Amino acid sequence: MLQTKALEDADAELRPGWHWVLIGAVFVVTLFLPLSMLGVYVGGLLARGRASNALSLVLVAGAVLATFAFSAGASGAMVGRFSGRPGTRTAMWGGALGGLATFALALLAGRLGLAPALAAALVLSGTGALFAALGARVGLRARPK
């Protein structure tokens, strides 16, 4: 049986690339916010009983960053599956923008110095771009032929 594209898929491919960048960024933030609570919980379990506060901080931050990477990858897969022709590049920009938007939300919630703030922005945007691009490759393979 031949697979044909649904009407919705054809309409989605007609959207300009910048629409998909924004859609991807919003999806990253929307998926990450509830998952970040899971990351904090798992990180807290991993850090329990550690003598070093620095190691505990790294474990919690690593678990939260892993949930962010998953969110960016899922967003990239969605953009890669449904967007127009340049799905990987569009997903990558969406992941980077989602990382910056997540950083902006975190900046509003707390106090960071300039150096940690810049480092966090670079890590989140870089992680978002990388994992969204990897997710887009998965999404591209899921497209109907």
Express each pLDDT in 65-92 by its tens digit: 999 999 999 999 999 988 876 678 999 9
Domain contains 102:
yes
Integer Cα distance of 47 and 54 in angstroms: 10
Residue-range definition of the domain harbouring residue 122: 17-141
- The predicted structure's pLDDT at residue 13: 64
- The predicted structure's pLDDT at residue 49: 80
- The predicted structure's pLDDT at residue 105: 87
Tell the residue number behind the tokens 């990858």, with chain if given. Answer: 73
Domain contains 3:
no
Integer Cα distance of 143 and 41 in angstroms: 35
Domain contains 101:
yes
Q: Is the pLDDT of residue 1 over 50?
A: no
Residues near 69 by beta carbon (within 8 Å), at least 6 away in sequence: 127, 130, 131
Domain contains 111:
yes
Q: Among residues 101, 130, 103, 143, which one has the least CA distance to residue 119?
A: 103
Q: How many domains does the chain have?
A: 1
Q: Where are the alpha helices (DSSP H) in 14-113?
A: 17-47, 53-82, 87-109
Per-residue pLDDT tens over the stretch 116-138: 888 889 999 999 999 999 999 99
Residues 96 and 129: beta-carbon distance below 8 Å: yes
Tell the residue number behind the tokens 């690593």, with chain if given. Answer: 62
Q: Average pLDDT in the 10-16 region?
A: 68
Integer Cα distance of 42 and 7 in angstroms: 42
- The predicted structure's pLDDT at residue 21: 93
Domain contains 6:
no
Domain contains 90:
yes
Mean pLDDT of the chain: 87
Q: Which residues of 24-55 are buried (b: 16+ CB within 10 A; e: fewer)?
A: bbebbbebbeebbeebeebbeebbeeeeeeee
Domain contains 7:
no
Confidence of residue 94 (pLDDT cuts 50, 70, 90): very high
Domain contains 36:
yes
Per-residue pLDDT tens over the stretch 41-61: 999 998 888 778 888 889 999
